[in-house]
């Protein structure tokens, strides 16, 4: 991959990371807010709704944290010169895939294998 392309993807990754960390901060503030006084039937129902919203927010935060970790790993690959190479088969990841998923660490074939078996090709346990 050309240095100019690596820089373009690095900028995309950094922009997405900034966006996610901002979102995570505001979600954390919202999740930690307490609502209602806990008195009366209406307040109990409100507390249940608040708890549901808090759990939903915390689940979304966990998903976004995983994405931030993937972005950090991709940025490490940019820095060490391996960005754009499949971590499984070591072939070049097509630019359209990287454009769609800038933090992709596998080509489509290896990603399919990871999703199906939980490991990249060649890392299955022998029976």
Burial (0-12, 13-18, 19+ Cβ within 10 Å), 57: middle
Q: Answer yes or no: do 108 and 64 share one domain.
A: no
Task: Give me the residues paired with residue 86 across strands.
Answer: none
**pLDDT digit string, tens, across residues 84-104:** 999 999 999 999 999 999 999
- Residue 92 φ then ψ, to 5°: -70, 135
Q: Answer yes or no: do 79 and 118 share one domain.
A: no
Q: What is the pLDDT of residue 31?
A: 66
Q: Which ranges in 33-84 belong to alpha helices (H)?
A: 41-80
- Considering only CA atoms, which of 73, 31, 75 is closest in space to residue 52? 31
Q: Answer yes or no: do 78 and 90 share one domain.
A: no
Q: Answer yes or no: do 47 and 91 share one domain.
A: no
Q: Answer yes or no: do 38 and 89 share one domain.
A: no
Residue 85 DSSP code? B
Q: What does pTM read for this prediction?
A: 0.73
Residue 67 banded pLDDT, cuts 50, 70, 90: very high
Structural domain including 62 reads 1-83
Q: Answer yes or no: do 3 and 34 share one domain.
A: yes
């Amino acid at each position: 991959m050309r240095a100019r392309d690596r820089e373009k993807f690095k900028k995309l990754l950094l922009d997405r990371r900034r966006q996610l960390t901002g979102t995570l901060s505001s979600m954390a503030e919202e999740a930690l807010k307490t609502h209602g006084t806990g008195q009366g039937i209406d307040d109990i129902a409100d507390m249940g709704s608040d708890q549901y919203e808090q759990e939903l927010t915390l689940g979304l935060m966990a998903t976004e944290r995983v994405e931030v970790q993937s972005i950090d790993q991709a940025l490490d690959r940019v820095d060490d010169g391996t960005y754009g190479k499949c971590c499984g088969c070591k072939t070049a990841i097509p630019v359209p895939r990287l454009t769609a998923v800038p933090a992709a660490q596998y080509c489509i074939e290896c990603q399919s294998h990871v999703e199906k078996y939980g490991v990249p090709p060649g890392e299955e346990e022998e029976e």
